[in-house]
Amino acid sequence: MNLLNVYYKYMENPILGLQGLLDRCSFRQACLGYLMAAVGWVVFFNVGDGISFPMLILKLVVVFVAELTIGFVLSAFAGLFLDLRHTRVSSAELFVMVGSAGFIKGLLIIGAIISAMFPHSDLYLLAPLFLLLVWILQLGYLTRGLVRMEDISVARALSAWLFGIVPVCVLFGLALLFFAWGILLLI
């Protein structure tokens, strides 16, 4: 119920709603956002695959840990960028903001359901476009939230998030590279 109150406060007045969320630095609500993002990813990529329940739970846990790691690294680097630009911001608040943006990835579930409703169509070809749309919406939410909370320019807020996204992409690119290398060594 507390999460619905936060949502209603945000809809009434986005600045006060976001300020209330960040003032509390609620790790629980941030984790709910990260969990929603993980559920969105798992449903989007596994709908209609017929995987077992234990494997589904394992995928959910792995993606949840990956989302937490992404949120931690992204908020740390964005906070570092803003600190270097003489804007004092709490990395914990940024972590909560990234977690609350995870609810946007719930749109991936809608895309998966629509794709599952029409299995013989070529809707799967639109999946990369849908993922890009969700990421742009999430980046827009994060940028607007940072502009509202810290009273900085849109360019500086966007630069801070992009500064944080680059190391995240490098980290997960290296992880995928080592994962693929490990698989090739097994063959």
pLDDT of 103-162, one tens digit each?
A: 888 888 887 777 777 777 777 778 788 888 888 989 998 999 888 888 899 999 999 999
Q: Write out pLDDT tens, residues 14-59.
A: 667 666 766 666 788 888 889 989 988 888 888 777 788 899 899 9
CA 124, distance to chain mean position in Å, is 22
What pLDDT, on a 0 to 100 scale, did the predictor assign at position 3?
A: 62
**Containing structural domain, residue 122:** 2-186
Instruction: State the total domains in the chain.
Output: 1
Residue located via tokens 């003489």: 86
